Structure 1
Amino acid sequence: MPQLNPNPWFMIMILSWLTLSLIMQPKLLSFLSPNPLHTKQITAHKTQPWTWPWT
């Protein structure tokens, strides 16, 4: 069964991961986000009990 021979596919996988992790990933991570994250102030909401008409 030739599809179980890992010889060509393993090398392709290793080269693909090396290309991604060493070349592409630093280039992609160098871009700045157009919308920087900000911390929001968490405010507690005032809840009121629901008045049921049948009680």
Structure 2
Amino acid sequence: MPQLNPAPWLLVLLFSWLVFLTMIPTKIMQHHFMGDPAPQVAKKYTPTSWTWPWH
């Protein structure tokens, strides 16, 4: 059964992982997204005081 011979498939596996670990991350990191959210100034929350009577 030739499918159980690991010699050619191991080499294919190693080369494919070599491609995945070297070429693809650099291509992904060079991609620029067009819809990057711009940082906005956060408003400081000022709570209002409690005006109801306690009785």
- After TM superposition, the score normalised by the length of structure 2 is 0.55
Structure 1 residue ranges (4+ consecutive) displaced by more than 4 angstroms after TM superposition: none
Provide the identity percentage. 31
2:33 corresponding residue in structure 1: 33
Give the number of aligned pairs. 39
Q: Which runs of 5+ in 2 are unaligned?
A: 40-55
Give the superposition deviation at 1:37: 4.2
1:45 corresponding residue in structure 2: none
Q: Within 2, Cα distance between the matches of 1:10 and 1:38? A: 47
Deviation by residue 1:1-55 (Cα, 9 ceiling, x = unmatched): 110111101111110111121012212221111111468xxxxxxxxxxxxxxxx
Is the radius of gyration larger for structure 1 or structure 2? 2
1:1-55 matches, within 5 Å, as 1-37=1-37
- After TM superposition, the score normalised by the length of structure 1 is 0.55
